[in-house]
Amino acid sequence: MEDNEELMPKEGQSISIKEFLWLCVAKWYWFIIALVLICGYAVYHLAKTPNVYSASAAILVKDQQSSSPDISMVFQDIDALNTNVNINNEMVALRSPVIMAEVSRRLGLDVNYTVKERFAPKNLYGSTLPVSVRFFDLGDNGKAQMMMHYSQDSTVVLGPFATDGNIEDADKSHKIEVKLTGVPSDTLETPLGRVVLLPNEKFVKSTSPASLDILVDRVGYAAGAQHLSATVTTEVKDNYSSVIDLSLKDTNTERALDELESIIEVYNENWIKDRNQISVYTSNFIDERLQVIEAELGDVDSQISDYKAQHQLPSSGSAADALFDKTLSARDEIGALSVKIDLARQIKAHLNSASKNFEPLPSSSALGNGNVENIILQYNKDLYDRNIMVQNSSESNPLVQDKDALLAITRQNILSAVDGYISSLNAEMRAKQTSLSSAAGQLRSNPTQVTHLLDKERQQKVKEELYLYLLQKREENELSQAFSAYNTKIVTPPTISGLVGPFPRKTMTMAIALGLALPAGLIFLLEALNSKVRGRRDIEKLTIPFIGEIPQNGEKPRRWLPKKNVEIDRSSDIVVKQGCHNIVNEAFRVIRTNLEFMSPHEDDLAQVMMVTSLNPGSGKTFIAMNLATVLSLKGKRVALIDLDLRKGSLSAAVGAKGFGMSNYLLGNKTLASIVTQIEDCGDNVDLYPSGPIPPNPAELLYSVQLKAMIEKLRKDYDYVIIDCPPVEVVADAKIINKLVDMTIFVVRAGLLERSLLAEVQRFYTTGRYKNMGIVLNGTPDPTSSRMSRTNRHGFGYGYYGNGYGYSHKE
C-alpha cells in the first residue's frame, strides 16, 4: 500500500511549459483586458508627463602646488605628477548649497512659469517666457500663486492671486492690467505685496501663441536651489584624470544650459574669493604697518632737523667715525631684531584673539625663521580646507570638528614656536645691546649732542629700511592676487545631451510586457494553487482500472452561489440518443465497451453494478442514467435502481414521485407496483425509484427483501445498475456493495482534491469495494471554446471528435 501511495499524484504537481501556454491561450481575453488597461494608462502617463532633457558639460580642475600668496611660488615649475587637489572635494563643492542658492538667485528659480497644454503643463523660460515677475514682500522663501494673462499687444493681466497656494479657490474678480513698454514696470501693489514685471529680451513673439495664460508659482529661492541640487550630478571620467563631468536634467533646454553655465561661473568666483582671502588679510596687515611706520619716520626726520638747527651741529669727526659706525651697526641689528620681535608679537596677538581663530595668518616671510613660516603656511592651508568643508556642510559636521581640533593644536604649536623664537630674538638683542653699551661707553667722551644725533639717525635709517621692505612686500602681494586664475578650464561647454524621458517606445514596450506578464503570472499562480483533479493525467498512476471519461460542455456549476430549495429540471441529463455520435455519446459507448470486457457473465445472470463517488456532486446519477441508456441501445434490458434513499437524485431527475424502493423494502408494495419507465431511455430501461425518504435508510438496506430483489432482477434483466449515496458519508454504499458484482467509482474533475486520490486507491487496494473501476467525469470538452487548451492536450485527453457536452447537475 505504501508503494501505491508513492504513485499518487502530488497536490503541488506542476504543469509543463506547453500546458501553461495553452492555458494562456484559453484565457486570451485576460491578456486583452490587461493590455487595454495598462497600455491605456501608459498612453495617459506619456501625455501627462513632460519631456525631460539632459544637459552636460566637462571641466578640468587645475592642479595647484601651494596656497601661499608668496609671489615666488607663482613662478615655480609645476610638477604634473604631484598635486594636492582633492577631486572629490571639488565635486562636492560644485553641488554645494552655497552655489545652488546663488544660481537660484541669479536665474530667478524662485518662480516657476507654466502654461496648460493638452495634457501636460509646459514650463516657460528664455525665448518662451514673455515676462518674468519679482516679488518684494514675500521674503526669500515665501510661497504664493497668481495667474498672468499675456497678449501679443504687450498687455498683461494679473489675477487671481492666492497666498495659500490654491489658485482655484482665489478671488477671480481681483485683477490688475498692465501695458508693457519694453522696460520694467512700476512697482505694482497686489494682494501678494509689491510686484515688478520684467520684460524678457530673449522672448520670441513669432513662435508663441497670440495669448498665454501663465501660472506664476512662487516657490522661494530655497526650493529652487533644492530642486536644482536634486537634478545635478557630478562624476569623474576615470581615476587618472581631474576632469569632472557635470550634468543635470530639466524640462526646458534653455534653462538647463543656463543652470550649468551659472554653476561653473559661481564655482569659479567662489574659488577665486577663497584663494585670495590670505592675500587680502596680508595686504591689510601691511597697510596698517605702513601707516604706523610712515608716521614714525616723519617724526624722526623732524626731530633730527630741529635738533641740528637748534644746536648748529656739524658732521661727526673722522676719529669717531669708526666707533660711530660700530655703534650704528649694532643699533641697526637691534632695530632689525625689534622689527622681527614686533612681527612675531603681532602674529602671537592674532593667534591669541578668539575672534580671529578662523582667519588666515598674515604672511610670515619677514620673520626670518623657516620653521615658523612653514608651520604658518600649513596652518593657512588647513584653515582653507576647513572653511570649504563648513560651506559644504556645517560646523557640527564631525569632520569639521576634527579639523577644528587639529587647527587648535596647530595654533598652540605656532604659539610655542613664536614664543621660542621671541625668546631667542630677545637673547640676541641683549647681546647686541651689550655690544652697543660698550661702544657707547667709548663715545661718552664725545659731546652729548653727537650721541643724541646718532641715536635719531639710527632710528631714521631703521624705519626707512622697514618702510621700503613693507612696500616691496605689498607689491608682491598685489602681484600674487593678479596671478590668481580660475581653478577650472572648460573642456566641453554646456550642451544638450538629448531626451532622457519619457521614452514612448520604451514605455509602451514595458506596458505591453507588463500587460502580458500580469495575466500570465496570475494564470500560473491560480494553476499552481489548483489542488483539484484536473484530468486524466492526474489519475494515470492509479492502479484502479480506468473505465472511461466523460467530457463536459457548457458552464461550470457556480458553487459560490447560495443553494435554493427549488425543483431542478433534470430532463437534459439523459444525453445518450439513438443514432447520435457526438462526443458525449461516443464517450458512453467507450465506457459500455470497457464494461463488457470487465464484466464476465456467468450462468446468463445479469451483471449488477453500483455507481458511487467519494463526495457529492460528482455526477454519479448522470453516469447511471446515461449508462443504462447506452446499454439499452444494444437491445439489453436494464434495471435502474435508485437506492439513494436519503436524497433520491435519480428519481428526482426523471420526475418519478410516489411509491418506490422504500415502500418495497418496508413490505408495503411489490416490485411490479413501483417499477416505471424513463421516457428518454427507451423501453428496455426500467426504473425502480427511491420512493418517500424513510426514517431509517440503513436498516432498510439490511432487509432480506433487498437481497431477494437483486436475485430476482438478475434473472429478469441483462444489467442491474444501482445509484448509491457517496461512500464514507453514510454506511449505505458499504451495505449495498455486498450484493453487487462491480463498483463504478465516479471522480469529478475540478471537484475532487488530488490528495484524496490516495484514499480512492486504498479502497481498491484493500478490496473495500468489489471490482472497482474509475469513470472520470467532467473533463473539459475539446470542442468547447471555453475549454483550456491545456486540458485539451494535457489533462483532458479528448478523443471523441465533435459534438455535444453537458452541464452537470446532481
pLDDT per position as a tens digit, 62-79: 775 544 444 444 334 333
Q: Note the Cα 674 to chain centre separation in Å.
A: 77
pLDDT band, residue 366 (cuts 50/70/90): low
Residue 754 has pLDDT above 60, yes or no: yes
Residue 6 has pLDDT above 70, yes or no: no
Greatest mean pLDDT among 323-327, 476-480, 686-690 lies in 686-690
Q: For residues 655 and 576, what is the distance between their CA atoms, to the nearest angstrom?
A: 18
Residue of 58, 176, 202, 792 whose CA lies nearest to 492? 58
Q: For residues 810 and 748, what is the distance between their CA atoms, to the nearest angstrom?
A: 11
Which of 227-241, 367-381, 614-628 has the weakest average pLDDT?
367-381
Which of 166-175, 242-251, 306-315, 712-721 has the weakest average pLDDT?
306-315
Alpha helices, H only, 642-703:
649-654, 661-665, 671-674, 697-701
Q: Note the Cα 610 to chain centre separation in Å.
A: 64
Residue 582 has pLDDT above 80, yes or no: yes
> Cell match 431527475: residue?
653
590 compared with 800, residue with greater pLDDT: 590
792 compared with 472, residue with greater pLDDT: 472
pTM: predicted TM-score of the whole model, two decimal places: 0.56
pLDDT band, residue 36 (cuts 50/70/90): very high
* Dihedral (Cα; 495, 501, 504, 506), 10-degree rounding: 110
Q: What is the pLDDT of residue 74?
A: 39
Q: For residues 22 and 571, what is the distance between their CA atoms, to the nearest angstrom?
A: 34
pLDDT band, residue 441 (cuts 50/70/90): low
Q: What is the pLDDT of residue 129?
A: 92
Q: Rounded to whole angstroms, what are the CA distances from 38 to 25, 31, 44, 484, 526?
A: 19, 10, 10, 59, 21
Q: For residues 167 and 215, what is the distance between their CA atoms, to the nearest angstrom?
A: 9
Q: What is the pLDDT of residue 196?
A: 93
Q: For residues 482 and 373, what is the distance between their CA atoms, to the nearest angstrom?
A: 23
Q: For residues 134 and 578, what is the distance between their CA atoms, to the nearest angstrom?
A: 95
Q: For residues 761 and 9, what is the distance between their CA atoms, to the nearest angstrom?
A: 11
Q: What is the pLDDT of residue 317?
A: 47
How many Cα atoms are found within 13 Å in the side-chain-facing hemisphere of 458? 20
486 compared with 163, residue with greater pLDDT: 163
In order, the DSSP letters of 256-325 are HHHHHHHHHHHHHHHHHHHHTHHHHHHHHHHHHHHHHHHHHHHHHHHHHHHHHHHHT--PPPGGGHHHHH
* Chain segment 300-319, per-residue pLDDT in tens: 777 777 666 665 555 544 44
Q: Phi, psi (5° rounding) for residue 9?
A: -65, 135
114 compared with 173, residue with greater pLDDT: 114
Q: For residues 133 and 108, what is the distance between their CA atoms, to the nearest angstrom?
A: 9
One-letter identity of residue 415: L
Q: Do 537 and 543 form a contact (C-beta atoms < 8 A)?
A: no
Q: Do 395 and 314 form a contact (C-beta atoms < 8 A)?
A: no
Q: What is the pLDDT of residue 453?
A: 67
Residue 748 has pLDDT above 50, yes or no: yes
pLDDT band, residue 444 (cuts 50/70/90): low
Which of 118-132, 254-268, 280-294 has the weakest average pLDDT?
280-294
Q: Rounded to whole angstroms, what are the CA distances from 534 to 99, 620, 772, 807?
A: 69, 18, 21, 17
Radius of gyration of the chain (CA): 54
Q: How many CB atoms lie within 10 A of CB 122?
A: 14
Beta strands in 577-626 (DSSP E): 607-613
